[in-house]
């Protein structure tokens, strides 16, 4: 774009930032409304303890070995 100068880029960037903020606000409001309605959010296949914590081992085995420590 040969006619673009710093002012034009700044204005376009400000508009894009504003649009991103509006999308974020709408998304957060919609998620809060769904949560208030009691709808469970998230992927139901990733709802067990191991995947939520990002670990690939059995936490009960760790608790058995190191029961006196509070890891969780």
Q: Quick: pLDDT tens for 29-62.
A: 999 999 999 888 877 666 555 555 555 566 677 6
- Quote the pTM value: 0.54
Torsion, CA 19, CA 20, CA 26, CA 30, rounded to 10: 150
pLDDT band of residue 25 (cuts 50, 70, 90) is very high
How far is the C-alpha of 64 from the C-alpha of 41, rounded, in Å?
A: 32
Mean pLDDT rounded to a whole number for the chain: 79
pLDDT above 80 for 64: no
């Amino acid at each position: 774009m040969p006619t673009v100068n710093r002012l034009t880029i700044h204005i376009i960037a400000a508009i894009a930032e504003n649009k991103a903020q509006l999308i974020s606000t709408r998304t957060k409001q919609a998620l809060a409304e769904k949560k208030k309605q009691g709808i469970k959010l998230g992927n139901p296949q990733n709802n067990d303890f191991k995947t939520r914590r990002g670990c690939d081992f059995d936490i009960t085995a760790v608790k058995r070995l190191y029961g006196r420590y509070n890891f969780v």
